[in-house]
Structure 1
Amino acid sequence: MVAILKWLIIFLVIARVYGGCSLRNLEVRQYDTGKLVKGYHEYAVSISNKCSELCVQRHVKLNCTGFQTVEKVQPSIFRVSGDVCVVNNGLPITSDATTNFRYAWSNSFHFNPISSDIHCYKS
């Protein structure tokens, strides 16, 4: 019984520290702006951290295998490095903050979060 109580306390402490925040709390949304750039459809992308207010996600990386664009994207906001894209220059994305960029290609690209470093502050 004591062992079960110890594990329960450890679980509760971990849950409190991390606040249930995970990579799944990164929300990537995009839409076709209706504009054409060099003959290609332009898409607006927003990447949001939907964790609790006490958690930030930094060093956010997305899978970018096959990503292409004819529209210049500011590298400090979204940088392609091989098959991985770095968001916000690796700087923290706070809860309910959004990083935005636009790209242009013949079709939209599915950006899939693959990693981030999560840091939650105690209240």
Structure 2
Amino acid sequence: MKKTLSEVHCLLLVVLIILVSDQGLVKCSLQQSERCSVKDITINQSSSGTEPSGIPIFLVEISNECLYPCTIMNVHLHCGEFSSDNLIKPEIFKRLTYDNCLVNNGAALTPGQVLSFKYSTTRMYPLSVLHLDVSCPT
């Protein structure tokens, strides 16, 4: 029998209620990776003008869209041969190796947090999540 998404959510809620102890503590919780994941990191890029030399400037906004009170940290992005003609603070974004760039020096991105920076180069680099770690309260 096929269940709708709302039926599945309802069943999960019932299971969680059953697992609540007398002290009101949940003995079992969803896996952290089920609460927040790669899909909760959004990366938006847009054109942001040009340098006096005519090189395009791009604005990058990286945000934690997770709805749970979880912290996403150690965010690494696919970034190819990323380079920029203007300096980007390495604690915000830095290329570690080919196709591996570190966001926020590995520090946490809290729910709703948006991190932004600008880079300038002849073309926009495609950026996507390579790896991240999630920490959620139990």
TM-score, normalization: structure 2? 0.74
Q: Which residue is equivalent to 1:96?
A: 112
Identity %: 26
Structure 1: stretches of 5+ with no match in the other structure: 1-8
2:56 is matched by which residue type in structure 1? H
Distance 2:114 2:49 in 1: 21
Distance 1:38 1:78 in 2: 23
What aligned pairs does 1:97-116 form with structure 2 within 5 A after superposition? 97-116=113-132
Number of equivalent positions: 114
Kindly indicate whether the alpha-carbon contact (under 8 Å) linking 1:36 and 1:104 is maintained by their aligned counterparts in 2.
yes
Kindly indicate whether the alpha-carbon contact (under 8 Å) linking 1:69 and 1:103 is maintained by their aligned counterparts in 2.
yes
Encode CA deviations 1:67-92: one digit per residue, 9 max, x unaligned: 12111100000011112111001000
The correspondence for 2:94, drawn from 79, 88, 94, is 79
The correspondence for 1:35, drawn from 38, 44, 50, is 50
In the TM superposition, structure 1's runs of 4+ consecutive aligned residues that sit over 2 Å from their partners are 12-20, 35-39
Distance 1:41 1:98 in 2: 22
Distance 2:103 2:77 in 1: 8
Encode CA deviations 1:9-45: one digit per residue, 9 max, x unaligned: 59x9443755621111100001101232543100010
The alignment partner of 1:103 has SS state of: strand
Kindly indicate whether the alpha-carbon contact (under 8 Å) linking 2:32 and 2:134 is maintained by their aligned counterparts in 1.
no
What aligned pairs does 1:45-84 form with structure 2 within 5 A after superposition? 45-83=60-98, 84=100
Q: Give the CA RMSD over aligned residues.
A: 2.3
Distance 1:37 1:103 in 2: 14
Encode CA deviations 1:35-74: one digit per residue, 9 max, x unaligned: 3254310001010000124011100000121212111100
Shift of 1:120: 1.0
